[in-house]
Structure 1
Amino acid sequence: MNLHETGSGIAWIKQFKVQDQPAARELLKAVRWVSAAEFTEALTKSILEEAESIAGPIALFVEQDLKVRNGKVERFYKQKRKPKRAHGVAIPPVRSKQLFNHEVGSEGVVGSIATALKRQSRDKFLLHPTAEALRRKKVRAFFILADTVGSGKQAGRMLQSLWNLASVKSWMSAGLITTRVIAFASTSVGRAYLEKHPMRPAVVYDVPCPTISTVFDASDAKRLVDLCARYSPNKSDDGLGFGKEGVLLAYAHGIPNNAPDLFFRSTAKWMPLFSGRVTNSVATLVETGLPRVPVAERLAKVEAEKLAASRWLNRLGEDSKKMLLVMASLSRSPRTENAIAARTGLTMPDVRRWLEVGIHFQWISVKHRLTDDGLLQLKHMQKKPKYEMRANLPWPENVVYHPTSLRAPD
């Protein structure tokens, strides 16, 4: 069951005026649901793959909303004045900014994943280690872990908090430390914002974060942005959430605050689908395992209708379908990995894998364009199979096979 088919989803759509309900259904249908299993597997895999390239221990830091006073973000560690040197314990992985209001957000789920990795490989991973442990263990990388990079500002504060330490600047200038921001999903805006930081982090993610502007074409996006603004519980806002991103993503542990307000904010007259950004009410009704990409539907979206209707499609295995989908998506620009993942619904690792396969078989060029052989493959798939299985022909019951001719042994 998808979100727009649940009882809660149907009730949420009915709050809109009759003429706006089709658009509301379209908006809800576009929300990408991420199960707990998918999130844990993807983030763990990304961390382990990135760790393979680091020759030494890695410090894991869970992204959280740091305090900002007088325009300055708090430091991750205390710092001695003479000489300037980080010391003591780090900010804990999970904490509440308000002592009288204890709440744990996505940092709790991410923290659990980081804890599991630390327990499995204590020599490789350290979780929010002390400054003394950073030196003693000779840590060679900082991994900042998050569920979503939206505007990039929250992860940016984490980077700045570390950068404000003289010790960290010294280690980086000596080439001793590299930095990664690892998330399940990221917007292109957030990625660009983080990559400009002086720590020059590599932003690693599994899925290009779906937003209204990336999921829909320009005219539909404008119509849905207007819908969010008109129905926003916060009338003084544009209704697109924090950073004005309009993120269309929902996790089993909650919906990001950069999703449209009408999904999670409430008033006396408006009941949100995810009150307080909590998704528990629908988590048991929607898909709970790893997602399957609707290949035919995605082929139609990349304007490959003939392939989507091809009789060959149902005969192909899942891997072959994904290869075909990646090749079909290369018919238009942009042809970056990020753009291909957004068009196909595949993860970034999947896109890289199938691009490598296509290049190996010379169906795709190194510039991600279809070769003549690649075009022939797609053209072949559009044809009707030469021999069709007559699946509808009845087969008589209780028929025992016996040979009609015999052959004597040599």
Structure 2
Amino acid sequence: MANSELGRQWLAQFEPADVETAKRLLSALTLVSHNAFERAITAQIVAEAEKVDGSVALYATRECDDELDLFKFAKGGEGAKALDAVDRGADLGSEARVAAIIRNLAKVNSDKLLNHPTLEVMREKRCRSIFVIDDYIGSGKRTADFLSAIWRSSAIKSWHSLKWIDFVSIAYSATARGGARVCRQRMHPRLVLERDCPTYPEMPWRAEIKDEVQSLCWRYGARTSRRSMRLGFDKVMAALVFEHGCPNNAPAILWAPTPVNKKWMPLFPDRSVVPDHASAFPPDILARDTAGLLVDLKPAGSVDEVKLRASPLGDGGIALLALLGQGVRTRSALAFTTGYTALECTRLLDQCTQRGYISANLRLTAAGRAELAEALKGDPAVSRVPERGDDCYYPRQLGGPHGG
């Protein structure tokens, strides 16, 4: 993306001393393609619906005014079987994409999966669960407001109190803060995610690098048309972009509309992805360079390179031990490093716990430290590179790293 014409123009706006930090900000983005998003959301809906003994109401999450009762003020029309999937005249971004997924699934199994049903249809079909579906939960406000709009119906409250229905919030990704806000709602929805959302404050970087990235977003964000959102809405600093759009929780320098004075040109104009950038979105989320991230976690100048040996745990397992060994314990950092989904991260954590490598509070055990040390053992980049400034260096052996 940095090598596209728009990417080069975007980078050219930074002072020379800030260009490398700007490139780091770009390279840390998790890019989600149309296909990856649609596959994940479809699979989540189908898998969760199979757990329900009855029909399921599917709704695309959208912005709602305070105090709105979704069913009382719905625009479905007299005798309508379904509510409008999106607000009429609304900006059709993620809502329309999610609504299309719902519509296609409902066509295949209309008795089980209900496309934005009215209360009458839910009653007729004996609905047993309500799914609210979104691409991304950042601050959690939009999903919380939408759930509240459904909850204001006295019929919904009654059905829930009788344990006839429950709620499930489905999203491709969510921040820890946003997910917690959704789960605190009065109907206590269950949260289902494809992957945890990476944010710049939770990146597996040492504090110095994090401070540089935040300073960059703050200083140059002042040049955008969204000065109050320099660090993104609610200061989330999300590091995730969908091919269908950039969340407003990402730093403003990435997406804020070009101001009248044209002091800043965003990479994703008004949160949209230009055709020139579409090829940068991979079919699947890939793992990061674990060894390179370990260098970013260590004190500046202490090590130039880290090379990891093969391990029975695999690259993902060693990445987990390495992150925990450096005090990084957020699941979003693990997902960012490995490219794993939320389910895969949970399985990996369980596997390492069962093997005795990590404790219940996500700390390395003696066995975990030994396994990590073995993965780093004999690495010439770690143990054999002389201190900087030595005039002479004579290698003790020839050949590449062991185990490779």
TM-score (norm: length of structure 1): 0.79
**Which residue is equivalent to 1:94?**
86
Q: Is residue 150 from structure 1 mapped to residue 142 from structure 2 by the alignment?
A: no
> In structure 1, what is the Cα distance between the partners aligned to 2:121 and 2:315?
48
> In structure 2, what is the Cα distance between the partners aligned to 1:299 and 1:166?
54
> In structure 2, what is the Cα distance between the partners aligned to 1:127 and 1:23?
45
Relative to structure 1, the CA distance from residue 14 to residue 247 in structure 2 (aligned partners, 3 Å threshold; closer, same or farther) is same
Q: Does the aligned pair in 1 maintain the 2:357–2:369 contact within 8 Å?
A: yes
Secondary structure at the aligned position of 1:146 is classed as strand
Secondary structure at the aligned position of 2:2 is classed as helix
Of stretches 39-48 and 356-365 in structure 1, the one that deviates more from structure 2 is 356-365
**Which residue is equivalent to 1:59?**
57
Q: Is residue 247 from structure 1 mapped to residue 245 from structure 2 by the alignment?
A: no
Q: Deviations over 1:32-87 (max 9, x none)?
A: 21112221222223333333432222111101112x2xx42x222128xxxxxxx9
The equivalences for 1:8-407 within 5 A come to 8-66=6-64, 68=65, 71-72=66-67, 74-78=68-72, 90-96=82-88, 98=89, 103-215=91-203, 217-232=206-221, 233-234=224-225, 236-264=227-255, 265-267=257-259, 268-294=262-288, 295-301=290-296, 308-310=306-308, 312-313=309-310, 320-333=314-327, 335=329, 337-338=331-332, 340-342=334-336, 344-384=338-378
Q: Does the aligned pair in 2 maintain the 1:329–1:344 contact within 8 Å?
A: no
The number of residue pairs the alignment matches comes to 369
Per the TM alignment, residue 103 of structure 1 is displaced from its structure 2 partner at its CA by: 3.3
Per the TM alignment, residue 161 of structure 1 is displaced from its structure 2 partner at its CA by: 0.4
> In structure 2, what is the Cα distance between the partners aligned to 1:334 and 1:231?
28
Q: Does the aligned pair in 1 maintain the 2:206–2:297 contact within 8 Å?
A: no
Q: Does the aligned pair in 2 maintain the 1:298–1:325 contact within 8 Å?
A: no
Q: Deviations over 1:108-131 (max 9, x none)?
A: 111222223323333332120121
Of stretches 224-233 and 137-146 in structure 1, the one that deviates more from structure 2 is 224-233
Per the TM alignment, residue 218 of structure 1 is displaced from its structure 2 partner at its CA by: 4.3
> In structure 2, what is the Cα distance between the partners aligned to 1:356 and 1:132?
44
What fraction of aligned residue pairs are identical, expressed as a percent? 30
TM-score (norm: length of structure 2): 0.80
Secondary structure at the aligned position of 2:351 is classed as helix
Secondary structure at the aligned position of 2:127 is classed as coil
> In structure 2, what is the Cα distance between the partners aligned to 1:336 and 1:29?
20
> In structure 1, what is the Cα distance between the partners aligned to 2:104 and 2:364?
42
Of stretches 230-239 and 241-250 in structure 1, the one that deviates more from structure 2 is 230-239
Relative to structure 1, the CA distance from residue 239 to residue 45 in structure 2 (aligned partners, 3 Å threshold; closer, same or farther) is same
Relative to structure 1, the CA distance from residue 118 to residue 300 in structure 2 (aligned partners, 3 Å threshold; closer, same or farther) is farther
Secondary structure at the aligned position of 2:106 is classed as helix
Structural RMSD (CA): 3.2
Relative to structure 1, the CA distance from residue 19 to residue 260 in structure 2 (aligned partners, 3 Å threshold; closer, same or farther) is same
> In structure 2, what is the Cα distance between the partners aligned to 1:307 and 1:136?
64
Amino acid aligned to 1:227 = L
Per the TM alignment, residue 324 of structure 1 is displaced from its structure 2 partner at its CA by: 2.4
Relative to structure 1, the CA distance from residue 296 to residue 120 in structure 2 (aligned partners, 3 Å threshold; closer, same or farther) is farther
Per the TM alignment, residue 155 of structure 1 is displaced from its structure 2 partner at its CA by: 0.7
Unpaired runs of at least 5, structure 2: 74-78, 380-396
Amino acid aligned to 2:252 = D
> In structure 2, what is the Cα distance between the partners aligned to 1:78 and 1:369?
51
Amino acid aligned to 1:226 = S
Unpaired runs of at least 5, structure 1: 80-86, 392-410
Secondary structure at the aligned position of 1:95 is classed as coil
